[in-house]
Amino acid sequence: MARIRLLRACALLFALLCFIVSVTEAAKSKDAKSVKKVKKAKKAAEPSVDVEGPRTLKLSDFTVTVRHSGEEATTHTLAYPKPLAKPLTVRPGDSLRLAFQLDVVPEGKAEGKALRAHQAFIVFRPANSNASPDGELVQVLESTPNGKHRIELIANRFAKYFSRQPGDFNVDVLLGVFGNVQPVRYPLGTFHVDFPPADLTDRTVVEDLAKRAKQRALEGPADDGFMALPEIEHQFRPDDKMPPVTFSLGFSAVVLSPWFVLVTLWKLAGANPANLPSSPVALLAHGTFLSCLAGFLGLFYLYWTQLRLLQTISYGAILAVVTVLSGRVALSDIAHRRVKATKKE
């Protein structure tokens, strides 16, 4: 009967081991697939390398149109990189329109192909930047895939900005493209903004100026982000000193002393080796049970040194099953021998 129980226990243990191995292999394959997906995603997200040679941007059909209220529009045609011949005047109610064609030309060639700029801006910078309360005005140009770029500005939409700092503005067009292409900064010239100055006694204007001054104070100077910051120096502390060898050996002796005490108490209590089971099956069950108890101690040590929680639980579950089955057989054998000895008495 004991042999049948032991065979059942071994079969159950083998099935449990097979199940754990299959689960582990499935997890590994799933992790491998996820790693492949991550690698593919990273490869797809990497920017493509521009294998073409140096290229330049070409601006053509550049026109600047100013439409005064109640008057006909005035159009100025520019040839990049030449600026306007004379300053343009912008008044309240006027509209300003810029349009041009952008092409990219390979080095050594005269003609290129239409290109849509990835970054296209028009920037109004006050000529007297020190007296400027609001700084520069930046607007984004509209673009199409065939290289057409344009922008139309209604002066009244920026009345609050221009009325606080009327006067001359230096206007630039900034263009940027990904790849081995030199960006473009095209100074268009000077624009004279003829707006009535803002009423500094107006409560709304005063509150708005105070709000902008506070915001600029929080942001700090414009060039702070491009200054070298103080070098960060890391100071690593020296390695901790190891305790003396005698202290380590003494602590190890204290940890192992209960085992010597246990053996001594067994001897004093009259431990009799003749009480060991004579049946090979029972002897195997006793040995397996005690080995499992020692295995739990080893498992706790491995959990402390290198194993993770889930790994410890998995191995502990296997040991628990073997411990329960072998312990049941071993304890049943002890109980059976005690009952048998009692009957003899």
For the chain, give percent helix, strand, coil, nearest 5. Answer: 50, 25, 30
Average pLDDT over residues 240-260: 88
Model confidence at 223: pLDDT above 70: no
Q: What is the pLDDT of residues 62-96, one digit of tens each?
A: 999 988 777 788 889 999 889 998 888 888 888 88
In SS3 terms, 275-286 reads as: HCCCCHHHHHHH
Which one has a higher pLDDT value, 340 or 9?
A: 340
Mean pLDDT for all residues in the chain? 79
Backbone phi, psi, residue 49, to 5°:
-80, 130
Residue type, 26: A
C-alpha distances (whole Å) from 257 to each of 15, 246, 260, 295, 301 are 40, 16, 5, 20, 18
Residue 315 gets which letter from DSSP? H
Rounded to whole angstroms, the Cα distance separating 283 from 321 reads 18
User: What's the topology of domain 55-220?
Assistant: Immunoglobulin-like (2.60.40)
Q: What is the pLDDT of residues 19-39, one digit of tens each?
A: 564 555 555 565 555 656 655
Domain chopping of the chain, boundaries: 55-220, 278-345
Model confidence at 226: pLDDT above 80: no
Q: What is the pLDDT of residues 139-170, one digit of tens each?
A: 899 999 999 999 998 877 776 677 667 778 89
Q: What is the pLDDT of residues 302-344, one digit of tens each?
A: 999 998 999 999 999 999 999 999 999 888 888 888 888 787 7
| pLDDT of amino acid 263 | 82
* SS3 label, residue 80: coil
Taking the CB of residue 172, how many other CB atoms lie within 10 A of it?
18
Backbone phi, psi, residue 291, to 5°:
-65, -35
Rounded to whole angstroms, the Cα distance separating 198 from 159 reads 9
Model confidence at 46: pLDDT above 50: no
